């Protein structure tokens, strides 16, 4: 697991509480072969569901934290949970995946921490109706010396929109429903892809302050969305 403080660097937590049947319907997927439980605190190094360009009709479970195929040590994935959109085509760790191995990361919200005089306050950012959103992602397959595979992914980030700017200087790149096939299509040009990677602008995002229990990836459950306790003073 990543050291806790590093999770504040960019998008380091998200949620996916939607039923599997709803997810399959919205993304035109086969129903998952494994049971999916609602998740309210998805964290790096965990195996989480994504939809890839290689198999766009089903969910695949991959480890969050991209491990490039050429990496000598899988621990590099701890540093690569996100990828800045501005440098996808330049960074050796992301260049190939951006060109050939893209994915959608389904979510119904993400967390960011806003600095304040009394410390950092976590916020859960979601669509106002708490419906599905999909983040732009990259994926990779890494093999160790014995040929054992680790499939991994990360989340692409962009500049913040007006809602996010007071909270954090980055946000996940949210791929709109009409653009999901384009993001996964191997024939899409890099120019077109870059055009999809921009701050979310539809105006239906909401940011709710939540309690500090979300700070630990060991905590789960819908109570993580409860507002923080009011001050006693």
Q: Per-residue confidence at 10, pLDDT binned at 50, 70, 90?
A: low
Q: Per-residue confidence at 233, pLDDT binned at 50, 70, 90?
A: very low
Residue 49 located in a structural domain: yes
Residue 23 located in a structural domain: yes
Residue 103 located in a structural domain: yes
Structure letter (DSSP) for residue 217: T
Instruction: State pLDDT tens for residues 114-149.
Output: 999 888 999 999 999 999 999 999 999 999 888 899
Q: Which domain holds residue 132?
A: 4-218
The number of distinct structural domains making up the chain is 1
Residue 9: pLDDT over 70? no
* Residue 80 belongs to domain with CATH number: 3.90.1680.10
Instruction: State pLDDT tens for residues 199-227.
Output: 999 999 999 999 999 999 999 999 999 99
Alpha-carbon distance of 28 to 180, in angstroms, equals 11
Residue 233 located in a structural domain: no
- State the pLDDT at residue 118: 82
Mean of pLDDT values over 188-204: 97
Residue 230 located in a structural domain: no
Q: Given the residues 11, 33, 86, 149, select the one marked as catalytic.
A: 11
CB hemisphere CA count around 194 (13 angstroms) = 10
Q: Per-residue confidence at 31, pLDDT binned at 50, 70, 90?
A: confident
Residue 228 located in a structural domain: no
> CA quadruple 169, 44, 25, 175: dihedral positive or negative?
positive
Q: What is the torsion angle, in degrees rounded to the nearest 10, for the CA atoms of residue 164, residue 213, residue 135 and residue 3?
A: 100
Q: Given the residues 33, 112, 159, 220, select the one marked as catalytic.
A: 112
Tokens of 139: 């994926």
Q: Is 224 exposed, middle or buried (0-12, 13-18, 19+ CB in 10 A)?
A: buried
Residue 226 located in a structural domain: no
- State the pLDDT at residue 7: 41
Instruction: State pLDDT tens for residues 53-111.
Output: 999 999 999 999 999 999 999 999 999 999 999 999 999 999 999 999 999 999 999 99
107 Cβ contact list (under 8 Å, min separation 6): 14, 15, 16, 42, 132, 133, 134, 135, 172
Residue 8 located in a structural domain: yes
CB hemisphere CA count around 160 (13 angstroms) = 14
Tokens of 152: 């991994």
Is 33 annotated as catalytic?
no
Is 112 annotated as catalytic?
yes
């Amino acid at each position: 697991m990543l050291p806790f403080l590093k999770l504040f660097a960019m998008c380091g937590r998200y949620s996916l509480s939607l039923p599997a049947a709803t997810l399959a319907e919205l993304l035109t997927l086969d129903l998952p072969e494994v049971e999916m439980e609602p998740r309210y605190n998805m964290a790096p190094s965990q195996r989480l569901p994504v939809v890839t360009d290689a198999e766009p009709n089903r969910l695949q479970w991959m480890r969050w934290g991209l491990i490039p195929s050429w990496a000598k040590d899988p621990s590099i994935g701890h540093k690569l949970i996100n990828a800045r959109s501005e440098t996808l085509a330049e960074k050796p760790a992301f260049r190939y995946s951006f060109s050939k191995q893209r994915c959608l990361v389904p979510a119904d919200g993400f967390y960011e921490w806003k600095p304040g005089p009394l410390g950092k306050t976590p916020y859960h950012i979601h669509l106002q109706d708490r419906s599905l959103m999909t983040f732009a992602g990259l994926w990779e397959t890494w093999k160790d010396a014995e040929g054992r595979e680790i499939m991994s992914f990360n989340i692409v980030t962009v500049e913040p929109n007006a809602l996010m700017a007071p909270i954090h200087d980055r946000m996940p790149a949210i791929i709109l429903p009409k653009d999901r096939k384009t993001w996964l299509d191997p024939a899409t040009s890099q120019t077109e892809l870059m055009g999809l990677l921009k701050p979310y602008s539809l105006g239906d995002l909401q940011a709710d302050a939540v309690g500090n229990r979300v700070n630990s990836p060991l905590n789960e459950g819908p109570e993580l969305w409860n507002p923080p306790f009011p001050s006693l003073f």
